[in-house]
Every structure is written in C-alpha cells, then in structure tokens.
A and B are shown apart, each in its own frame.
Chain A
Amino acid sequence: MSMTNSQARPGEAELIKSVCNGEREAFYELVRPYERMIYATAISVVKNPADAEEVAQEAVLKAFSNLASFHSESKFSTWLVQITYNEARMKLRKARPHLYDSIDEQQQGEEEEYRPKDYADWRPISSELLEQNEVRQALQNAISALSPPYREVLVLRDLQQLSIKETMSILGVSKATVKTRLHRARLVLRDCLAPGIDGSWIKGTPFRKVRAW
C-alpha cells in the first residue's frame, strides 16, 4: 500500500516472518544491512564509541523483542532508527540528566538568522577524501560539535537520508523546525569545514577569508 514499503530491501518481509516463526539467525540477516546506520544514529547522540556500541546492542535486542509490533506499512529501517534513537536518548538522559534537560525545548537563538561566513569560493572536498582519517575526523568533530537539536536533524536527514516526514515523526517536531534546524546545521558545518578546503587541516594554516559580511 504505502510508498515507503516499496523501498524495503528484497526479502525483508520474508525475513521478518521467519524471525516471528522463531528463526533467530534470520534476525541477524535482517539487521545486518543496517548495522552501520544503527551505529551512526547511536554515536550521533551519545558521542563516544563505547556508549554508542552499547546503545547499538540494546537497540538490536529491543528490535528483536518488539518485532511482532512492527507494522509492515512503515519502513523497517526507519523503525530501527527510531528504536536506536530512543535508546540513545535514554542513555544520555541517565548519564547526564542536567545537560539533557533542555534539549526538547526551543534552543536559544534558534530563530536568529545564521550568517554563513564569506569565503571567496568553495573548493570542493571530494568524497574520496573520506578515506583519509583526518578528513573523516574533521567531519565527525564538526558534527559532534553541533548542539543536539541540530545534530539530530542533520544525522536523520543527511546521514540516514530520511525524509522530512520521517524526521518529523522520529523527533516529534514540526516541518518548519526540521527545516530551520537542518538549514543551520548545514551552514555551520560548512563554516567548520571551510578551513580544510585548501588542505590546511594538515598544514594548520587558516583559510583566507575575503571579507566580513
């Protein structure tokens, strides 16, 4: 029926049936293509690899025990991201309740205009450079440095490639909020990564800025 269902991986529905009939190995087959997605969701919330692994494990177990409640009209991958996301948030809340208190509230300054820095031009960072540890690390650091509301939207939309609608439903925020936060997150990342575009991540020289807006 639904559009999203047609995007399910081939054989997914059969695997789900097998798991529900008690075939445990089928569950591993079902989850395996999404391991990286689960881990990336987890680490984008909890930030450190050890916690992210724990969250990934908890999320997989939870998905297994709740599989009977999965409805085939939604996408299995989105359902998994939702579970992982909830587990990750719960972990963060337990670990640092004070820090996490304000996350659901409107962020201060969210309505303010973000002014992108003015660089004369943009020399593209080729995705092949992601093979280099420095470049990957720079991008990871920039994503981690975003405050949680921005990071979460960016990870769901740009990293997990979820639709605006799916992102709205996972985060429980409006379309306008998804768009505003995504917008800012992308511009901030651009500003963070600009110093690297002439290779200065390695050389340590600042990128030449042409003028202040």
Chain B
Amino acid sequence: MATIEISCVEVWREISNYLDEEISPETRERMEAHFKVCAHCTAVLDGTRNIVELVGDGRVFQMPDGLSKRLHKKIQNLP
C-alpha cells in the first residue's frame, strides 16, 4: 500500500472534517488506513459521530408546554 502514514494527532485534528466530508480523498484514505489499526482514534471517531447524531436528533431541547399555543395567541393578537 502506498498510503502515507498519519499520526494520531493529525487524525484528531481532522475528525470533524472527516465526518463532514470536508477533506481531500488522499487525507480520507490515510485516515481510514489509520482507523483500521488504531482503536483509540476509532473511539474518538465513533464518539464524535455519535455526538453529531444525538445533537441532530431534535429531541435535545424540548419546547416548554404551551409555547406553541402562546405563540399562536401572540400572532392572533398582532395589531
């Protein structure tokens, strides 16, 4: 394999860009080769991906009860 090795520090630096597909194909390939052999960086990747999924779930911040009704009322009472 002609893939140039990448260090853990370099991998962490790009974890977020990796998830957002904001890296070059070369860097992606190097990172993927690294994940195959480095359990620690894989744990960083898995955890970060998990966080992104949880935050994006939409259930994190629940609206207070009745807010929707109050907003509706506010709109109805507009001058």
List residues of chain A with CB under 8 Å of any chain B CB.
Answer: 24-25, 27-28, 31-32, 35-36, 39-40, 43-44, 49, 53, 56-57, 60-61, 64, 113-116, 118-122, 124-125, 127, 130-131, 136, 139-140, 143, 154, 158-159, 161, 164, 179, 182-183, 186-187, 189-190, 193-194, 210, 213
Contact B75 A36 (CB under 8 A): no
Known: A35-B67, A60-B71. A127 touches B43 (CB 8 A): no
Summarize A's interface: helix, strand, loop or mixed.
helix
Contact B64 A187 (CB under 8 A): no
Contact A49 B64 (CB under 8 A): yes
Q: How far is the CA of A2 from the CA of B57 in the complex (A)?
A: 27
Q: Which of B35-62 contact A (CB under 8 A)?
A: 39-40, 42-44, 46-48, 50-62
Q: How far is the CA of A93 from the CA of B74 in the complex (A)?
A: 24
Q: Least Cβ distance of A34 to chain B in Å?
A: 10
Please give, as numbers and ranges, the residues of chain A lying within 8 Å of B51 by CB-CB distance. Answer: 158, 186, 189-190, 193
Contact A122 B58 (CB under 8 A): no
Q: Least Cβ distance of B21 to chain A in Å?
A: 11
Q: How far is the CA of A131 from the CA of B58 in the complex (A)?
A: 11
Q: How far is the CA of A116 from the CA of B42 in the complex (A)?
A: 12
Q: Least Cβ distance of B57 to chain A in Å?
A: 5
Contact B43 A118 (CB under 8 A): yes
Identify 5 new A-B residue pairs, CB closer than 8 A, beyond the known A31-B75, A139-B55: A53-B64, A120-B43, A121-B43, A122-B46, A213-B8
In the complex formed, the residue of B with least CB distance to A30 is B75
Known: A116-B44, A121-B43, A186-B16. A36 touches B63 (CB 8 A): yes
Q: How far is the CA of A113 from the CA of B7 in the complex (A)?
A: 14
Contact B48 A187 (CB under 8 A): yes
Q: Least Cβ distance of B62 to chain A in Å?
A: 7
Contact B60 A136 (CB under 8 A): yes
Q: How far is the CA of A185 from the CA of B57 in the complex (A)?
A: 17
Contact A43 B61 (CB under 8 A): yes
Q: How far is the CA of A116 from the CA of B13 in the complex (A)?
A: 10
Please give, as numbers and ranges, the residues of chain B lying within 8 Å of A179 by CB-CB distance. Answer: 16-17, 20, 22
Contact B67 A27 (CB under 8 A): no
Please give, as numbers and ranges, the residues of chain B lying within 8 Å of A60 by CB-CB distance. Answer: 71, 74-75
Contact B50 A24 (CB under 8 A): no
Contact A57 B74 (CB under 8 A): yes
Please give, as numbers and ranges, the residues of chain B lying within 8 Å of A24 by CB-CB distance. Answer: 75-76, 78
Q: How far is the CA of A142 from the CA of B64 in the complex (A)?
A: 20
Q: How far is the CA of A131 from the CA of B54 in the complex (A)?
A: 11
